[in-house]
Each structure stands twice: as structure tokens, then as C-alpha cells.
Amino acid sequence: MERVTGIRCCAALRSCFPILTWLPGYNLTWLKMDLIAGLTVGLTAVPQALAYAEVAGLPVQYGLYSAFMGGFIYCIFGTSKDITLGPTAIMSLLCSAYIGGDPVFAVVLTLLCGIIQAGMALLRLGFLLDFISHPVIKGFTCAAAVTIGFGQVKNILGLKEIPQQFYLQVYYTFHKIPEARVGDVILGLCCLFFLVMLTLMKNSLGSSEHEASLLVRSARRLVWSLATMRNALVVIAATGVAYSAEVTGHHFFSLTGKTAEGLPPFKVPPLSETVANGTVITFSDIAKDLGGGLAVIPLMGVLESIAIAKAFSSKNNYRIDANQELFAIGLTNILGSFVSAYPVTGSFGRTAVNSQTGVCSPAGGIVTGVIVLLSLAFLMPLFFYIPKASLAAVIICAVSPMMDFRVPVQLWRVKRLDLLPFLVTFVVSFWEVQYGIVGGVVVSGFMLLHIVARPKVKVSDHGVLLLELDSGLNFPVTEHLSRLVYKHALQVSPRRCLVLDCAHVSSIDFTVVHELTELLKQFELRGVSMIFAGLKP
């Protein structure tokens, strides 16, 4: 009995702390691969974090504040060896709609987001994500990619005072093209060109696995590694060019500018804010202003992260625990709020890099976190000279794979009606991204309700009317079923006896039972029979 209890306790501990499942078998080979993967992802994460903070409307250091906590927390509580948590393009875009560029709002949103996610995990509410359909997700990601990508055109052109709202952004960007700075345009286009070339090189090298020569294989591996770190290489090169121009007195480029130096202090998140005119914004006021973001951001953060974790667990032959993933993300956000982070989730791009470089355990995230911390500790003064055009190029190349316009063709081939939630989400997201998600979910919900309320019923008349039902009988279907029965059995001459084939009926509720009782009375009054066939106990 004691042995069984001990086994159950060990299993419970491993479930709560997944690190206990892989740490006992950790070895030097794993350490080597995790170091390489963590370093590679770290060199990708730093420039992306700086760029995504710009998308969120925050000072660039907040991107780095958000990029390191996930590596340490997920190592202990995560169930995927591949996934990396941190700021992403979509999460940054969503946050920008609610925080209004205010760091205090961002930190409070992170805290509340983490509490909601951790609470969902403890209550086992991960199933709520099942109500967001794939067409809605695809419609949102395509629209977000267009919104984020076009939102960076102003930085490529060096334009200022461009509104955030997408349609106004499009109008004023084209309206102000004559004001474009030549230096920013040239540098931005060069960065885009090199990023695209390095991406194509990496993809072409990945397609050839067998080479005759060891030297050729080594050369390909070196080029592949450089292409994987393309974001860091391009940003470093652009910063060098901008620094050289600045020290010679030429101000050709729009720079990131002054950033806060050093590591963020570990402190309790601010729960109120005093603005310039002395007005105090209380915690309840902040929560009210965040409004729908307290539902949209936690759900989208979890959805994005779990979808990525499932994709890579399937690819690399292991299983994840969705509720444990939910808890890991929630705890990361809660603790992230203590270091001034904004909400994070899983990053598809960095997770792909992590997987491709052969990471063996979540410990690779620790190395990535250390790289980010070292950048915060020693490199912040240099970030002053990073050109905004180079960060814009990084963002555009990062979000371009999300614009998958093959999806409408696939939806058309599989089920044309699924185009409706896709298009609603896609179009409305250009107005406000959160409304796009809500609109898509509402349309998907109505489509689902229509299927419940109007199940397929096969009607055949062989002198006796036969109705064959193909699903459960629930209260929305009662009126539809009654109309069919009256139309084909009770309102015809001569009246028909009815056989109701319930072989495929797996559920039934009180409203349906009440309606069937009324129908039985009507059949008795008219002197015909109603028979149930294939009923399950």
C-alpha cells in the first residue's frame, strides 16, 4: 500500500514539475545541443524582442524585459522541449490595442493575464480553446500579418506621426511618401534584401541532407547557422553603419534612441499610476480600461502557444499536457509582471529555430534567457544606434510567412461555408483586431448552433413515414422536428403512421421529450401510430 502511495506521489510530482521527467537522464550530449540551440535562439530573440516592443507601442527595452523570464519558468513547468516563450508579433499587436503605449498598463495586463491563465489551468478550462475554430485563427493571423507588416512601412520610409488605426495608417503612409528619408529607405530595403536572401539560402540548404564531402557538409552547416542568426547579423551590421554615420556628424537614419540601461528591478507590479497632471489612475480604472483585453489576450496567448507546442510535439514524437502548458504560460506572465514584462506566448519562428538546431530539453530556454539578460546588462547603450528601418525589416520578414493565402482555397475545397468565419475575422480585424476575433467566434458559434438546430433528417414514405435522424435530439431541434412530422404525417391525406429511427441519436433532453409526448397525443387523436426504433437505453 505504501509503495502504491509513493508511486502516485512521484507521478503527481512529475505531472506538476515536468522537469523531473527529463532531468535525471540529462547528459553532456544534451548539454552541448541545448547550449548551441539556446545561443542560436538568443541571437534571434534579442533583435525580435526589440522590434516587437515597437509593435506594442512600448520603449524597446520592454521587449527584452519580456524575453527572458519564459526560458527559466518553462524549463521547470513546460512539457515541450522545443517551444520558446517570449514576445511575439501577434501578441504585441493585440497588446497595443489595449495599453495605449503605457508601460504601467502593460505590466498590469501581464499580471492579470497570468492570473487568468493560471486559474484556467487549475480549473482545467483548456477546453474553452476548442471553441475557436481553425478558420477564425487563420483569418486573424493573415489579417495580423498584413496589419503588422504594413505598420512597419512607415519606419522603412522614415515617416513620423502616422496614426495607429489601419485604414488611416494606409492613407497617411501614402500621403506622406514625399516626406520619406532617403537614408532610411535605402537602409531598410538593403536589410530586407539581405534577410530575404539569407532566408532563401537557409531553405535551399535545408533541402539537401546528403553531401559527398565532409568539407561541403561543414560549409553548408556554417552557412545554415549564419542564415539562422540573420536577424542579429542584419541588425548588428545596420547599427554599425548608423553609428559610423552619427560619429561623423551625418544624421541619415531614424534611430531607436535612448533606452533604459541595465536589468529591470524585480519589484511588485504597479497597481496604480499617477499621470503628469497629478491624477491618480487606480487599479480598478486600469482594469476597466483594459476591458475585453482581459479575455482576448489570455485566450489568444494560450491558443497560440498550445497550437505551436502540439505541432512540434507531433513532429518530434512526444506528447504535451495542454493544462500544464496553460499553467506554465500563466506563471511566466505572473512572474514576468515583476520584471516589467508585457504578455508573452509561444513564438513559432523561434520554436522552429530551436527545433532545427537540435535542442534536447527545455534547458535550452535557460541559455536564451541568459543571452537576453547579458544584452540588458551590457549592450543597452549600443541599442541607441539601432536604426528603426532595420527593426522594421526584421518584423516584416518575421510576419510574412503568416500571410498564408492558400487557406481560402483549402477552405473552398473542404467546406465552403467555413469561408464565412474566415472572411469575417479577416475583414473586421483591419478595423480592430480584437473585434475580428470576436466576430469570427460569433459566426462560428452560429454555424455550430445551426447544425444542432437543423440536423440532417432523411424522410422516406413507404406507406408508412420513416424519419431517420443522424445526431442527438436537443431543444433547438424541437420545432423543426414537429414541422416535419406535421407536414409529412399528420397534415396529409391519408394520414401516415410514423417510424422515428433513433439508431444514431446519442443524446436527448427534457424539451424534446415533452415535444415527443405532445406529438404522441396528436397521433392518438388522429388514429395513427408513432413508433420509436433503435432507441438506446
Please say if the pLDDT value at position 113 is more than 90: yes
pLDDT in tens, 180-202: 899 999 999 999 999 888 888 87
What is the structure's pLDDT at 62?
94
Q: Which domains does the chain have, with CATH numbers?
A: 1-401 (no CATH), 457-533 (3.30.750.24)
Sign of CA dihedral 408, 411, 413, 417: negative
Question: Which SS3 state, helix, strand or coil, does residue 251 take?
Answer: coil
Question: What is the rounded average pLDDT of the residues 416-438?
Answer: 87
Q: Do 306 and 82 meet the contact criterion of CB atoms below 8 Å apart? A: no
Least confident of 136-140, 360-364, 505-509, 513-517: 505-509
Least confident of 2-11, 259-268, 339-348, 442-451: 2-11
Burial of 279 (0-12, 13-18, 19+ CB in 10 A): exposed
Please say if the pLDDT value at position 273 is more than 80: yes
DSSP output for 192-224: HHHHHHHHHHHHHHHT----S-HHHHHHHHHHH
What is the structure's pLDDT at 264?
92
Cell of 406: 492558400
Q: Give pTM, 2 decimals.
A: 0.79
What is the structure's pLDDT at 207?
46
Q: What is the dihedral of CA 415, 301, 98, 422, to 10 degrees?
A: -10
DSSP output for 123-187: TT-GGGGGGS-HHHHHHHHHHHHHHHHHHTHHHHHT--S--SSHHHHHHHHHHTGGG--HHHHHH
**Residue 4 confidence class, pLDDT cut points 50, 70, 90:** low
Please say if the pLDDT value at position 335 is more than 70: yes
Please say if the pLDDT value at position 132 is more than 80: no
Mean pLDDT value across the chain? 86
Cell of 387: 536604426
What is the structure's pLDDT at 334?
96
Sign of CA dihedral 168, 171, 174, 175: negative
Q: Do 249 and 218 meet the contact criterion of CB atoms below 8 Å apart? A: no
Least confident of 76-90, 187-201, 309-323: 309-323
| Residue 459 per-residue DSSP state | E
Residue 168 backbone dihedrals phi, psi, to 5 degrees: -65, -35
